[in-house]
Amino acid sequence: MEIIFYIALVIVIIWSFSVQGRLKSLVKKYSKVESTSGKTANECVDEMLRRNGVYGVTVDHVPGELTDNYNPKENKIYLSDSVYGHSTITAIAIAAHECGHACQASDGWAPYKIRQLIAPFAGFASKASVWIAMGGIFLMYLSTRSSNMSYQLGFTVCTLGIVLYTVVFLFYLVTLPIERNASKRGLEVMQECGWVSDDQLKAAKKVLWAAGDTYAVALASSALTLLSLLLRRGRARK
């Protein structure tokens, strides 16, 4: 089992570097290609929101690259330096994707609502769960007998950490389809509104699917972390 785990770990690490490299390459490449419509990302967001009957959402600028996001608490779509006010394929694709999240929230789409409920707990769990689990494993190793109080306490603490990390795994599990759906919504409107040509639409799909692959990597990584904790607890029990 452990051999399989380490093989999977190497595969995920290689996959992660590959995905990151491809995403950066595609974003850079299509950030230099202007859309055939000449519309800016901001204009496309406004049009997509109106088309979907979403009102009250505003667009603002956020510094950095690939820092684009939709903030449901502020009801704002934040666009990064290379997206805000730009009319490139990359800019329009990313803006449409973030707009897709605003549409998910407006529709009350179930997976999106579930992620919003999990998110606060996942944030805490991602920071504390592994440390809690490892602390429990350490206590288990202090004892050589299962009847020892230190062992029982360690097992309980470790299990608590694993349960907490399961929340993180569930967060990534629901996030992947949410990100894919946001991209799908954005691409459909890009085609319907004619913001880009057919060839440019294919390029936009490459950018968005590469971005979505980063969440697939995160899901695989979280699954391996969860498996690692379970294996470590198993070794400590022996």
Convert the pLDDT of each residue in 154-164 to its tens digit: 999 999 999 99
Predicted confidence (pLDDT) at residue 214 exceeds the cutoff of 90: yes
Query: What is the reported pLDDT for 3?
Result: 87
Q: What is the mean pLDDT of residues 87-99?
A: 97
CA-based end-to-end distance of the chain: 15
Other C-beta atoms lying within 10 Å of the C-beta of residue 161: 23
Q: What is the mean pLDDT of residues 123-138?
A: 94
* pLDDT tens column, 66-75: 999 999 999 9
Give the chain's mean pLDDT: 94
Predicted confidence (pLDDT) at residue 92 exceeds the cutoff of 80: yes
The Cα 94–Cα 31 span in angstroms is 11
Query: What is the reported pLDDT for 13?
Result: 96
Q: How far is CA 155 from CA 113, 177, 227, in A?
A: 34, 34, 16
Predicted confidence (pLDDT) at residue 104 exceeds the cutoff of 90: yes
For residue 150, give its domain range: 2-237
Q: How far is CA 237 from CA 131, 152, 156, 165, in A?
A: 18, 10, 12, 20
Q: Quote the tokens at residue 89.
A: 């394929």
Predicted confidence (pLDDT) at residue 179 exceeds the cutoff of 70: yes
Predicted confidence (pLDDT) at residue 145 exceeds the cutoff of 70: no
The Cα 53–Cα 40 span in angstroms is 20
The Cα 66–Cα 79 span in angstroms is 8
Q: What are phi and psi of 69, to 5 degrees?
A: -165, 160
R_g over Cα of the chain: 22
Query: What is the reported pLDDT for 37?
Result: 94
Number of structural domains the chain divides into: 1
Q: How far is CA 197 from CA 37, 190, 205, in A?
A: 8, 9, 12
Lowest mean pLDDT across 106-110, 139-143, 228-232: 139-143
The secondary structure of the chain, three-state, reads: CHHHHHHHHHHHHHHHHHHHHHHHHHHHHHCCCECCCCCCHHHHHHHHHHHCCCCCCEEEECCCCCCCEEECCCCEEEECCCCCCCCEHHHHHHHHHHHHHHHHHHHCCHHHHHHHHHHHHHHHHHHHHHHHHHHHHHHHHCCCCCCCHHHHHHHHHHHHHHHHHHHHHHHHHHHHHHHHHHHHHHHHHHHHHCCCCHHHHHHHHHHHHHHHHHHHHHHHHHHHHHHHHHHHHHHHHC
Query: What is the reported pLDDT for 236?
Result: 84
